[in-house]
Amino acid sequence: MKATVDKDSCIGCGVCVQICDAVFEMDGDVARAKVEPVPAEAEAACREAAEACPVEAISIAE
Ligand code: F3S
């Protein structure tokens, strides 16, 4: 599984980092996925973060 943050959509709210800091981190004003693939134990939180993003900037690829 791979997570991608669309930097053009991200508004830097940081919710994804709060929910899943195993995968997401802030990179300046926007978030980025710092690991690929997403570790198995972080997949559930990663999906939760994607759903919680207010601007749907996170894509998940299986
Ligand atoms: Fe950006 Fe969404 Fe995360 S706005 S900081 S990708 S929750």
Query: What are the residue ranges spanned by the domains of the chain?
Result: 2-61
CB 25 within 8 A of CB 17: yes
Instruction: For ligand 1, say whether the CB of 23 is within 6 Å of any of its atoms.
Output: no
Residues in the chain: 62
Measured in Å, residue 17 CA sits from the centre of ligand 1 at 8
pTM: 0.96
> Closest residue (by CA) to atom 1 of ligand 1?
10
Would you say the CB of residue 5 lies under 6 angstroms from ligand 1?
A: yes
State yes or no: ipTM above 0.95.
yes
What is the C-alpha separation between 7 and 12, in angstroms, rounded? Answer: 9
In CATH, the architecture of 2-61 is 2-Layer Sandwich (3.30)
**In one letter, which amino acid is 21?**
D
pLDDT tens digits along 31-58: 999 999 999 999 999 999 999 999 999 9
- Does ligand 1 come within 6 angstroms of the Cβ of 20? no
Q: Is 41 helix (H, G, I), strand (E, B) or coil?
A: helix
Q: What is the pLDDT of residue 44?
A: 98
